[in-house]
């Protein structure tokens, strides 16, 4: 059983990675042995994020406020980086240089240059690097990927993604609301749909983006991804105070339209009756960590979300930002 530790014990650690490790411990795959956070209060309080909170707790781990102490005292196979975005590159590179396997939360880094430095560190490390672009491990989006790859409903003609939330105000020093640290909704929450669009459709040939500054900057993002043969739009908005979190998508194929939200999908054929595919509701966070563990234990190439692809998503975000700064001008990739 592999031993995991988190650096950072805030909302995403408590509500995504801890429950995943509880499930993986039951399967004899991995368990949480330690967590480090500069704020000792994090270990005694439950934090809710825009997805809500969790009742899952874990008690048989050691907590630290000093990273070097944790690394000196614990035997650790996997480090899970749950720090603010602007710290991802620094700590990921450090852990890779020490030989640890690293799962770093998304976004990969604050800029593409930092992403390249992370990949370079991974190339010389005995550990593996994976980025938490978790939608690639969701059964909903894997159903879409399989339908596209198998041409089940013909070619994709259009796609629309929404990801909407109230402002994420729960974090350390309210760092989400500091644009320099988070990049706003465009870099943080919106990146999920931008990454999954690349995963499903490949690289766009050009992009256009319009954003709105409400709280920290780029809090609303309307991104158009331009392909030769399909119309693709993604909308992100974390300015909706009091309205909670929601997401949905609509994919138009030649022979069907597929809609989905909250693990429920509806396939609407052009000819025939609507139906709801059976969706496995296993946690995408658990699935991504289990996939990394499989690579660690048995080797092989990361075919689902290699860090090089996560870096390209960061480059796409930067290109969209360049478009937004020019009033939505079309920018070629």
pLDDT at 52: 56
pLDDT at 281: 79
Render pLDDT for 212-269 as a digit per residue (tens, 0 to 9): 999 999 999 999 999 999 999 999 999 999 999 999 999 999 999 999 999 899 999 9
User: Lowest-confidence range among 31-45, 94-108, 140-154, 208-222?
Assistant: 31-45
**What domains does the chain contain, in order, with CATH numbers?**
2-135+286-305 (3.40.50.720), 138-282+313-332 (3.30.360.10)
pLDDT at 48: 62
> Which of the pair, 56 or 112, is modelled with greater confidence?
112
pLDDT confidence of 54, banded at 50, 70, 90?
A: low
pLDDT at 108: 98
Q: What is the mean pLDDT of residues 186-215?
A: 98
pLDDT confidence of 44, banded at 50, 70, 90?
A: confident
Is pLDDT of 139 > 70?
yes
Is pLDDT of 87 > 90?
yes
- Calculate what percentage of the chain has a pLDDT beyond 70: 96
- Kindly report the average pLDDT of the chain as a whole number: 95
pLDDT confidence of 49, banded at 50, 70, 90?
A: low
Dist. CA 102–CA 29, nearest whole Å: 16
pLDDT confidence of 57, banded at 50, 70, 90?
A: low
pLDDT confidence of 65, banded at 50, 70, 90?
A: very high
> Which of the pair, 239 or 57, is modelled with greater confidence?
239
Q: What is the mean pLDDT of residues 139-147?
A: 97
Q: What is the mean pLDDT of residues 7-19?
A: 93
Q: What is the mean pLDDT of residues 151-168?
A: 97
Please check whether residue 34 is in contact with residue 67, taking contact to mean a CB–CB distance below 8 angstroms: no
């Amino acid at each position: 059983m592999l031993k995991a530790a988190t650096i950072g014990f805030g909302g995403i650690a408590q509500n995504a990675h801890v429950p995943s490790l509880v499930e993986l411990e039951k399967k004899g795959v991995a368990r949480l042995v330690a967590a480090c956070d500069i704020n000792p209060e994090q270990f005694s309080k439950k934090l809710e994020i825009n997805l809500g909170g969790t009742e899952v707790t874990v008690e048989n781990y050691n907590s630290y406020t000093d990273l070097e102490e944790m690394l000196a005292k614990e035997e650790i196979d996997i480090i899970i980086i749950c720090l603010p975005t602007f710290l991802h590159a620094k700590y990921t590179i450090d852990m890779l240089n020490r030989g640890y396997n690293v799962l770093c939360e998304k976004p990969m880094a604050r800029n593409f240059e930092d992403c390249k430095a992370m990949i370079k560190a991974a190339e010389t490390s005995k550990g593996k690097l994976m980025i938490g672009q978790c939608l690639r491990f969701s059964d909903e989006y894997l159903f879409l990927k399989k339908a596209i790859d198998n041409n089940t409903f013909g070619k994709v003609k259009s796609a629309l993604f929404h990801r909407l939330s109230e402002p994420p105000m729960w974090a350390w020093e309210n760092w989400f609301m500091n644009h320099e640290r988070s990049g706003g909704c465009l870099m943080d929450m919106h990146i999920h749909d931008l990454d999954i669009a690349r995963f499903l459709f490949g690289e766009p040939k050009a992009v256009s983006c319009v954003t709105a500054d409400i709280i920290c900057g780029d809090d609303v993002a309307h991104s158009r991804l331009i392909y030769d043969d399909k119309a693709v739009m993604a909308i992100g908005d974390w300015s909706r105070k009091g309205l909670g979190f929601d997401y949905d998508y609509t994919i138009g194929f030649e022979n069907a339209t597929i809609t989905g939200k909250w693990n429920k999908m509806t396939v609407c054929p052009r000819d025939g009756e609507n139906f709801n595919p059976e969706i496995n509701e296993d946690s995408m966070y658990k699935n991504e960590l289990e996939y990394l563990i499989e690579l660690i234990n048995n080797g092989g190439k990361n075919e689902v979300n290699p860090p090089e692809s996560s870096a390209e998503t960061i480059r796409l975000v930067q290109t969209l930002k360049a478009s937004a700064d020019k009033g939505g001008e079309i920018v070629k990739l």
